[in-house]
Amino acid sequence: MENNTRGGDTPIKCELEANKNYAWCTCGHSGDQPFCNGSHRAAKATPSMVFSVEEDTTAYLCTCKQTKNPPYCDGSHK
Ligand code: FES
């Protein structure tokens, strides 16, 4: 989407808890990367993507928003 932007240039390591809903920022405007802080509304950009994991896990979440495997980094920032 044209109003989206890069939220960063590298993924952020996150400790994710099982069965908890997380709102990954898809638009890049959040100041709380990699998660949504509601900034997409003012920016008229894409809304968050809610996801959860089945087991406690450490994940590298995408901030550049170019990943083909959201919310996870796939190396597209390079
Ligand atoms: S601030 Fe980016 S999706 Fe909400």
pLDDT (tens digit per residue) in 54-63: 999 999 999 9
Q: What is the pLDDT of residue 44?
A: 97
In a domain, 77, yes or no: no
Domain that residue 7 falls in? 1-72
Q: What is the pLDDT of residue 66?
A: 97
Q: What is the pLDDT of residue 52?
A: 98
In a domain, 24, yes or no: yes
Q: Is the CB of 65 under 6 A from ligand 1?
A: no
Could you tell me the distance, in angstroms and rounded to a whole number, from the CA of residue 35 to the centre of ligand 1? 7
Q: How many domains, the chain? A: 1
In a domain, 78, yes or no: no
Q: Is the CB of 37 under 6 A from ligand 1?
A: yes
Of 76, 71, 67, 58, the closest CA to residue 13 belongs to 58
CB-facing half-sphere around the CA of 24: CA atoms within 13 A: 23
Q: Is the CB of 44 under 6 A from ligand 1?
A: no
pLDDT tens, residue by residue, 15-56: 999 999 999 999 999 999 999 999 999 999 999 999 999 999
